[in-house]
Structure 1
Amino acid sequence: MRFATYSAEGETFYGAVTDAGMIALSPEFPQWPTLRDVIAAQGLPVLEQAAQGREVTHADVIYQIPVPNPGKIICVGVNFPDRNAEYKDGSALPKYMSLFPRFASSFTGHGQPLIRPPENHTLDYEGEVAVVIGKGGRRIATQDAYDHIAALTLCNEGTIRDWVRHAKFNVTQGKNWDLSGAIGPWLVPFTDPAQLDAARIVTRVNGEVRQEDTLDRMMFPIREEIAYISTFTTLEPGDILITGTPTGAGARFDPPRYLVPGDVVEVEVEGIGLLRNGVEDEA
């Protein structure tokens, strides 16, 4: 089953996703105001049971980020061998993973436009799998890491490329423009390691495949990401880890192929879903 945060009729809800529309569940669980609260209470199975046999509540909805106001969004950079080679700096595979934070305000939901700012037009795409932490912890052992995942979703980790080069040692300012990326469309409860271990991620721009790879080729697998990150910071329910993008981002073409208004970007992983966003200039 899939669960989403969405707006309809001027209100915000969370509920179960069906092919015909949404089954609103949040009115029945006032003790859990958001999906973040549901995850903290390990309540996704309760929602699944509550949705059984129910009729669709809303057919016309606006998707929002599935987990509103996550405490932490931590992204893993340069996590595929071909991505490391793209830099053409002769470096060996790194000993430690590259990490950077993103703010929730830098993301929009499925079906909403990515916003290209007037200050710079090097808006780029990065298709990734995102994991949502369900059980918090510190110094989580690699072999126990999957026990701490509540759900999976998708991310287009949109980036203003010129701005990641403004500083010598960080990329934060190029990664956090308002509404430059997207997360969604929904959460898929994590129940089987094969959901990640055998996953193939595909990113398309206007129907053209730009990125395609399998998660088993990551230099730092998701188990290791959770273990490493939880060494220095306590992971909490609702935190989001964005796990790395394959080769093929627009910046790596010659000449670069950055996103322009009217483009449509799709990130897809079988078993999780398809995240689709258009591109617009900031009003």
Structure 2
Amino acid sequence: MDRFVSFRTGSRTSFGLLTEDGIVDLQSDQDRFGSMRQALQDGALPLLAEMGAARGADYAHEAVTLTIPVPDPEKIICVGVNFPDRNAEYKDGSNQPEHMSLFPRFPRSFTGADQPLIRPPESPQLDYEAEIVLVIGQRGRRIPEDQALAHVAGLSLCNEGTIRDWTRHGKFNVTQGKNWDRSGSIGPWIVPFTDPAQLADIRLTARVNGELRQDDRTSRMLFPFARIISYVSTFTTLMPGDMLVCGTPSGAGARMDPPRWLAPGDVVEVEADGIGILRNPVADEVS
């Protein structure tokens, strides 16, 4: 399984192929791609996999810090309430929604794998949400559902960390609770998408300090992956490097009685079949 990463080492930022021996740096003077986003735009993941396989590792694993897989996306759009039991968690008597709930997140609100999720001093209510990420590889607008998956270049994972009380500050939006700096994570890598079967029935879980908190399958999503792409592309042009974060199962800390918020020292692991494990510790913000 090819795994493409973006990373930094010292003052250098780059992207490459993760191997058993380390990281093959695929951004260099003799190569044509200046960024992961550029490589996605050119449909170059198969070529990069060949290039990486033919070269030795440039960096040991421990010599780099992983960043989010596409550090400079034009947009990140998240889907809310996309599993059946999630709607019931709200206990408001509402029917399953006809249309999906959406909100944006800014790249700065995410960090990479193994980096701490940051709890701000303004609220202790840092929560976790395990989600699958679609990384767009082909531009599209008003994409029919039966053509939607052709626009996906790869898959990744997200812990869509949320400051819960701040999602209730406004009447009609959750944006301010979803965009605290480094409150969530995306990664650790991009797995190339080559077959619709990769998305058919993925088991998605979240563990906090080894305790299983979330556990569901993508076959139960209210809005399947192809429908998400089609719906979002109706009102905005999807661009290579865009990331669609596709919804979380029930079991987040806010829905427990009493709620169980993340605290410094906790470790959260998001795992999905065929993609991997995204692991992050939790820390308080340091001024």
Normalising by structure 2, what TM-score? 0.97
Identify the residue that residue 46 of structure 1 maps to in structure 2. 47
| 1:29 positional shift | 5.6
Q: 1:35-184 to 2 correspondence within 5 Å? A: 35-59=36-60, 60-184=63-187
**Matching residue's letter, 1:156:** N
| 1:8 positional shift | 2.0
Once the two structures are overlaid, the 10-residue window that deviates more, 96-105 or 27-36, is: 27-36
What do you get for the CA RMSD once the two structures are aligned?
1.0
Mapped to 2, the partners of 1:237 and 1:266 lie a distance apart of 27
Q: Which of 276, 280, 287 is the aligned partner of 1:277? A: 280
| 1:31 positional shift | 3.4
Mapped to 2, the partners of 1:19 and 1:128 lie a distance apart of 26
Identify the residue that residue 3 of structure 2 maps to in structure 1. 2
Deviations 1:63-120 (A, max 9, x none): 0011011001000000000000000011111010000000000000001000000011
**Count of aligned positions:** 283
SS of 2:49 mapped into structure 1? helix
Structure-2 change in CA distance of 1:95 and 1:107 (3 Å): same
SS of 1:227 mapped into structure 2? helix
Consecutive unaligned residues of structure 1, counting only runs of 5 or more, are: none
SS of 2:28 mapped into structure 1? helix
| 1:270 positional shift | 1.9
Deviations 1:42-64 (A, max 9, x none): 11111011012321111121000
| 1:30 positional shift | 4.7
Deviations 1:146-193 (A, max 9, x none): 000001000000000000000111000000000000000000010011
Identify the residue that residue 256 of structure 2 maps to in structure 1. 253
Deviations 1:114-156 (A, max 9, x none): 0000011100000000001111111000011100000100000
| 1:19 positional shift | 2.2
| 1:28 positional shift | 5.3
**Matching residue's letter, 1:49:** E
Q: Does 1:194 align with 2:197?
A: yes
Mapped to 1, the partners of 2:34 and 2:260 lie a distance apart of 41
**Matching residue's letter, 1:224:** R
Q: Percent identity?
A: 59
**Matching residue's letter, 2:38:** D
Identify the residue that residue 245 of structure 2 maps to in structure 1. 242
Mapped to 1, the partners of 2:271 and 2:75 lie a distance apart of 24
**Matching residue's letter, 2:64:** V
SS of 1:202 mapped into structure 2? strand
Identify the residue that residue 210 of structure 1 maps to in structure 2. 213
Normalising by structure 1, what TM-score? 0.98
Mapped to 2, the partners of 1:260 and 1:9 lie a distance apart of 29
Structure-2 change in CA distance of 1:29 and 1:255 (3 Å): farther
**Matching residue's letter, 2:162:** T
SS of 1:145 mapped into structure 2? helix
**Matching residue's letter, 1:13:** S
SS of 2:233 mapped into structure 1? helix
**Matching residue's letter, 2:16:** G
**Matching residue's letter, 1:102:** R
